Amino acid sequence: MKKTKLLAAIGGLGLAVLAVFLIAADHIDAPAVAGTTSDIADLYAFEGDNPNNTVLIATLQGPLEPGNVTNNAQFDEDVLVEFNIDRTGDFVEDLVIQAIKRGDSMYFFGPVGPTQTGLSSIVETSVAPVAVKISTSADVQTATSNGMTFFAGPRRDAFFFDFNRFNMVASGSVAPEGFLPPGQADDFFDNLNVLAIVVEVPNSLLGTAPTHVAVAAGLFPPGALPNAYNVWVSTKRKQ
């Protein structure tokens, strides 16, 4: 695959990866890319079933209606999706895992030290890619290599948000009652879909995690929280 320079279409969403389930949400919030093939919906990062692994998930182009809207949604060959991992605590990516579509497959590169950091990237073809056929709603495909597992395709949107209630709270029409408990809340994203890119990676390939950012900032005493990678995702469009 030819090396191609790509520029950031959206900055990304930051997380400290702990042994718990964490998300950062963005659905159609970025005006420059809302409704485009580079629009990030969510970043998920959590401990795998194997506690020595970390699972990274980027979802795009949501929310998608079920049926033809989801079936017709496509990853863009001009958009690179990049998981960025900081393992020194300076919030600069030390490793990247890249995903880019070619034909009916998603090609993954990394984890590898990036040639460039920040808003510009080069597809890291110095490492051998792993290809997985892009799944459909009826045909789920995965690929494994070097202890890693890869997936790309449509998935149910896992984000939960009572959007209608949020608008009521924001307008003050239900104050001071506020939000409803989970059993009574109406999930706006129920039955909506996204395009998902999933990587499960052994922590041994990521290296030692830095001191948790909250500990480093003095918000917690040393040792109060486990070390944690800083992770964010970005989409970068070919220029």
Question: Which residues make Cβ contacts (< 8 Å) with residue 115, sequence separation at least 6?
Answer: 121, 122, 124
Residue 187, both tokens: 């999930």
Flag whether pLDDT at 175 surpasses 70.
Answer: no
101-113 pLDDT, tens digit per residue, is 999 999 999 999 9
Question: Measured at the alpha carbon of residue 46, what is the angle toward residues 51 and 165, in degrees to the nearest 5?
Answer: 145
Percent of the chain at pLDDT above 70? 85
User: CB of 102 within 8 A of CB of 77?
Assistant: yes
Higher-pLDDT residue of 163, 79 = 79
- The mean pLDDT of 11-34, rounded to a whole number, is 48
Flag whether pLDDT at 15 surpasses 90.
Answer: no
pLDDT value of position 177: 75
The CA distances from residue 163 to 69, 169, 177, in Å, are: 21, 10, 16
pLDDT value of position 10: 31
Q: φ and ψ at 124, to 5 degrees? A: -85, 75
Higher-pLDDT residue of 12, 101 = 101
Query: Please, what is the average pLDDT of the chain?
Result: 84
Higher-pLDDT residue of 150, 15 = 150
pTM (predicted TM-score): 0.82
